[in-house]
Amino acid sequence: MNMIPALLRALSATLLLASAAAQARPAATVTPALWRVQDADTTIYLFGTVHVMKPGVNWFDGKVKRAFDGADELVLEIIEPDDPNALGATMAGMALAKDGVKLSDRLSPDARTAYKAAMAANGLRWQTFDLFNPWMAGMALSVAPLERAGYQSQIGAEKILRAAAKAAGKKVDALETVEQQVGFFAGLPMDQQVNFLTATVDGLPDLEKSFDDLLRYWKAGQPDKLAREMNESLEATPELARVLLTDRNANWAKWIKARLDQPGTIFVAVGAGHLAGKGSVQDQLDALGVRTTRVKE
């Protein structure tokens, strides 16, 4: 299995291009996992999201909807800019290669051939990306096949939750900024960026199936299976896994513990990969002496 689905969740939906509106079709009700952290006067719900989705998945229901309705505030990974051009400008500015080396020249001959073929197959001009660092091309390649397969960021969980919060007059806050999230990739050493790009290219044939599997585990509320699938995909890039997952989970756990000092009910929604497996937010909270419980129906 390739590493890209996990990375997509970790980085957030803002790195995905908007696609066509969903077509109407019967919705299948699903039961994604939900956790709760609680003290005498504060309740914090932890919900793992999927940033892109196909039409016809009815997840905003049952315990998830009840927890959200009872919350005073929604907290996301980031607050996506209303103007998509602003996001594009931020990414491009941080992705431009400042050492003058062309992206294609950073790759071995075999990797360069595979990369150019993958870009062409996904309707992307490798010549344009020669100005950028490898992580930018890796993200572009990880998005295009999912869009072609019918996955849409416009109906991802964050979009739905933020719209519902706005309609209900709830406060919306974020754990990170857009610049921070893009910076996780932009700050990677060049060899790791190249590894990310080549792993993306190598994993493209299995990308849709891998993401389908992860979405199935999410819909069934099976974080253990999701973690096994995801951990397998990250073994080849432990440093990237640390930067994108473990370190961020630790920071968020500290935020959650500190937030317990303020009364209220908070609904925290982050990528599902952060709430699954070893080093998850729940593991980090446990290390801080904070207990997390799974919410039943």
Kindly report, residue by residue over 250-297, the tens digit of the pLDDT.
Answer: 999 999 999 999 999 999 999 999 999 989 999 999 999 999 999 997
Grade residue 232 by pLDDT with cuts at 50, 70 and 90.
low
**More confident: 14 or 122:** 122
Mean pLDDT of 148-153: 84
**More confident: 130 or 210:** 130
**More confident: 235 or 138:** 138
Q: Residue 211 has what pLDDT?
A: 87
Grade residue 56 by pLDDT with cuts at 50, 70 and 90.
confident
- What percentage of the chain reaches a pLDDT higher than 70? 88
Grade residue 236 by pLDDT with cuts at 50, 70 and 90.
low
Q: Residue 9 has what pLDDT?
A: 36
Mean pLDDT of 134-140: 93
Spatial distance between the Cα atoms of 77 and 244, rounded to a whole number of angstroms: 12
pTM of the model: 0.86
Q: Residue 233 has what pLDDT?
A: 64
